[in-house]
Amino acid sequence: MRLLSPLLASLLAIPASSRYIVPGGRWLDTNGSVVNAHGGGITFDEKTGKFWWFGEHKTEDSPEGGGVSVYSSEDLATWTPGELALAPVGGHPYISPDNVIQRPKVAYSSETDDYHMWWHADNSTYGLLLQGHAVSSTIGGPYKFVDATAPLGNWSQDFGLFTDYKDGRSYALYSNGDSKDGRDVYITSMNKNLTGLEETIYRFPKYDLEAPTIMQTDKSYWALMSHKTGYRPNNVVAFRADSLSGPWSQPFIVSPLNTRTFNSQSGFTLRIKGSKKTTYLYIGDQWDSNSVWDSRYIWLPIQTDESKKTLELEWHDVYDLNVKTGEWKPIKGKTYGAKQALTHGDAYKQEANFATDGMILTGISGNESTVTFTGIEGTGKPQLVSFYYQNTDDMGFGDQPGGTPDRIGGAWQLRRISSVVVNGDPASMQTLYQRDTHKGIILSTPLQLTLEKGRKNTITIGGLDNGFGVRGADLDRIVVYPSEK
Ligand SMILES: *[C@@H]1O[C@H](CO)[C@@H](O)[C@H](O)[C@H]1NC(C)=O
Ligand SMILES: *[C@@H]1O[C@H](CO)[C@@H](O)[C@H](O)[C@H]1NC(C)=O
Ligand SMILES: *[C@@H]1O[C@H](CO)[C@@H](O)[C@H](O)[C@H]1NC(C)=O
Ligand SMILES: *[C@@H]1O[C@H](CO)[C@@H](O)[C@H](O)[C@H]1NC(C)=O
Ligand SMILES: *[C@@H]1O[C@H](CO)[C@@H](O)[C@H](O)[C@H]1NC(C)=O
């Protein structure tokens, strides 16, 4: 047997440079576990030539103090897990499992040739409002805890970190809490060693926003932030400026109204400078407040127009991103509409002028009142199916003063849950979470299914128990995507 030359072997080891990204999907790491890196940030590391994703390691036992996880990738789609980058320490005043360790970010200091992790450090009642700092000589860690401090003496809640690609300087972004005196978002320069803060260069006054991130295009800085609705999505806003120190524009909404930013919260933006194109990704969280450790990720391409001074997120169920060239393209799927679906039991088709076929499939409940899509073409290999739905349970939060209840005093429900069965085989059953949308707002959520090769597949959707009932959300259509090459 002839051995491969080292060069050829290393070429073969390079993974495909383009892979699909599926917002809201169940993302598995190379170990087969669901990626657990919430409220995260991604750092491209020149030394390793890889993207490194740091995020909150959330577990059912320790949803806020699970430490910081780290994953590495060459293509932003294949993620290799590392050991915890920052592990919680029992009894520690700032990084015990009872603490809050949120929104970690990492940047490299060329002055000191090491990596610095910063995050929102707090106790469980959010009474400390500090910024944590840890350091490592390698990007993957483990990071050594240094301190948790009050930035220039003030409070700090949701944390972001921005590095200007033109001069390499880094800035801490932080909302300074919910108190009446706070409610500002700060941009404060960090020293070159990334060991502390220097000077506040801008303060977004009294907008009462959180989860800040800044992205930089050729001519502009864009700051994205969310409103404060806990683990429930809202309409994320952006501000634009020529300079980090302002003046900044009025805030504006970045996604179609009432989609609540496609059911997500901001937190990070990633600039991918490819050989042909620079692409920007919105790196958001699709929180599940009923089981926050099982939340998903919404990553979407961002479109900006420098002359109109606009920024918009673009929804795609699945897109193919090539990090080398910076190019991406949406994948085309085949649509099966409500009109051609079969209904059983009490499920029925109801007029809906906003729906794809002018009707929506409603009354889906248990496994008696179901809906079946027939004649579905499959490849015989796993493929992505997006379920377009409407969930009008309406996330009023009337129990919170200042909230905007869709139903005053209403018991807020996060989601409906459907069962999805392929070709009538109970063993194929998968669970589909359908978070609240809004009246007349149709969003999609994906599952990976294996259909038989050919055009005779059926997909049946029923309702599962969500603690409030066994009803599935209303369906508009399903879209079946080709298998990944
Ligand atoms: C990957 O999986 C192996 C085998 O289950 C396990 O021993 C290892 O700890 C996992 N690695 C990480 C980083 O989760
Ligand atoms: C920054 O790091 C350099 C190199 O380690 C060190 O000499 C210098 O004192 C540091 N400066 C600050 C402000 O920590
Ligand atoms: C968190 O810190 C604040 C300020 O020190 C304190 O008042 C509060 O009791 C602390 N909460 C817990 C759970 O220790
Ligand atoms: C923090 O900043 C706010 C304004 O953003 C100010 O009103 C408040 O006094 C400051 N608090 C401290 C502790 O410096
Ligand atoms: C669905 O059917 C299974 C058996 O086929 C049964 O065990 C289960 O209780 C049913 N669920 C509902 C919600 O009706």
| Alpha-carbon gap, residue 133 to 16, rounded angstroms | 36
For residues 343 and 295, state if they share a domain. Answer: no
Mean pLDDT of 111-138: 97
Structure confidence by residue, pLDDT tens digits, 131-175: 999 999 999 999 999 999 999 999 999 999 999 999 999 999 999
Task: Report the C-alpha gap between 54 and 113 in whole angstroms.
Answer: 19
Domain-located, residue 15? no
Ligand nearest to the CA of 179: 4
| CATH number of residue 430's parent domain | 2.60.120.260
Q: Tell me which of 299, 330, 361 is where a domain ends.
A: 330
**How many Å lie between the centroid of ligand 1 and the Cα of residue 23?**
25
User: Is residue 97 in some structural domain?
Assistant: yes
pLDDT for residue 414 is more than 90: no
The reported pLDDT for the residue numbered 395 is: 53
Pocket of ligand 1 (CB under 6 A): 31, 81-83
Same domain assignment for residues 394 and 279: no
Ligand 5 binding pocket includes 345 (Cβ within 6 Å):
no
Number of structural domains found in the chain: 2
pTM: 0.93
- Tokens found for residue 139: 């990007």
CA 25–ligand 1 middle distance (angstroms)? 22
* Residue 369 Cα to ligand 5 middle (Å): 12
Q: Are residues 199 and 148 in the same domain?
A: yes
The response to whether residue 176 sits with its C-beta less than 6 Å from ligand 4 reads yes
| Residue at 298 is within a domain | yes
Return all residues near 393 (Cβ < 8 A) that are at least 6 apart.
413, 416, 436
Look at residue 19 in the predicted model and tell me its pLDDT: 80
317/339 same-domain check:
no
pLDDT per residue as tens digits for the range 319-342: 999 999 999 999 999 999 999 999
Which residue's alpha carbon is nearest to atom 12 within ligand 2? 193
> Ligand 3: distance of its center to the CA of 134 in Å?
22
Domain match, 233 and 149 both = yes
pLDDT of residue 410: 52
Residue-wise DSSP of 368-413: TB-EEEEEEEE-SSEEEEEEEEE-TT----TTSTT---SSTT----
Q: Where are the beta strands (DSSP E) in 217-347?
A: 221-226, 237-241, 252-253, 265-273, 278-286, 296-305, 310-313, 319-322, 328-330, 334-337, 342-343
Residue 225 and residue 249 share a domain: yes
Question: Confidence class of residue 473 from pLDDT cuts 50, 70 and 90?
Answer: very high
CATH code where residue 316 lies: 2.115.10.20
Ligand 4 atom closest to residue 152's alpha carbon, by position in its atom list:
14
Residue of higher predicted confidence among 132 and 291: 132
Same domain, 269 and 184: yes
Q: Tell me which residue range forms the domain holding 365.
A: 334-480
Residue nearest to atom 2 of ligand 5 (CA): 367
